[in-house]
């Protein structure tokens, strides 16, 4: 087992929103930290001004980073997402992407609304923490 996802009784069901409340990492596991990825092509250019397209490409890039360590999305235990000018309409594309990748056991996740990210056309960024058993 690489990790355990737990959504305790007494807390709301976070899964429809694209996250879980907790993730436990077993002793002796190796942690892999993935720096903030955004919706870029291999040259670093933002692929689209469309928020949903940036979300999709960002998670693709997370997958590329995971694969570089021989890992997949199932090894991710935590995400930190940053959304420029966050509003409730932006939750749909994020939760949809998370459901597509993790189904009913998404990683723990924190979403932070920000005024800006590293470049003016970047609207979405994700950091990931993965576990190698």
pLDDT tens for each residue of the chain, 133 residues long: 679 999 999 999 999 988 999 999 989 899 999 999 999 999 999 999 999 999 999 999 999 999 999 999 999 999 999 999 999 999 999 999 999 999 999 999 999 999 999 999 999 999 999 999 8
How many alpha carbons lie under 13 Å from residue 44 in its C-beta half-sphere?
3
Integer angstrom CA distances of residue 76 from 23, 96, 101, 123, 132:
9, 17, 10, 22, 9
The first and second tokens of residue 5, run together, are 């996802």
What's the predicted TM-score (pTM) here?
0.91
């Amino acid at each position: 087992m690489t990790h355990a996802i737990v959504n305790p009784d007494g807390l709301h069901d976070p899964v429809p929103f694209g996250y879980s409340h907790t993730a436990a990492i077993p002793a002796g596991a190796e942690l892999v930290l993935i720096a903030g990825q955004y919706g870029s092509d291999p040259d670093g250019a933002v692929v689209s001004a469309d928020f949903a397209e940036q979300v999709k490409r960002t998670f693709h890039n997370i997958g590329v980073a995971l694969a570089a360590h021989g890992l997949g999305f199932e090894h991710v235990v935590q995400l930190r997402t940053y959304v420029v000018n966050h509003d409730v309409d932006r939750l749909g594309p994020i939760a949809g992407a998370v459901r597509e990748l993790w189904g009913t056991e998404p990683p723990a996740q924190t979403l932070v609304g920000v005024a800006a990210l590293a470049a003016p056309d970047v609207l979405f960024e994700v950091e990931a923490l993965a576990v190698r058993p």
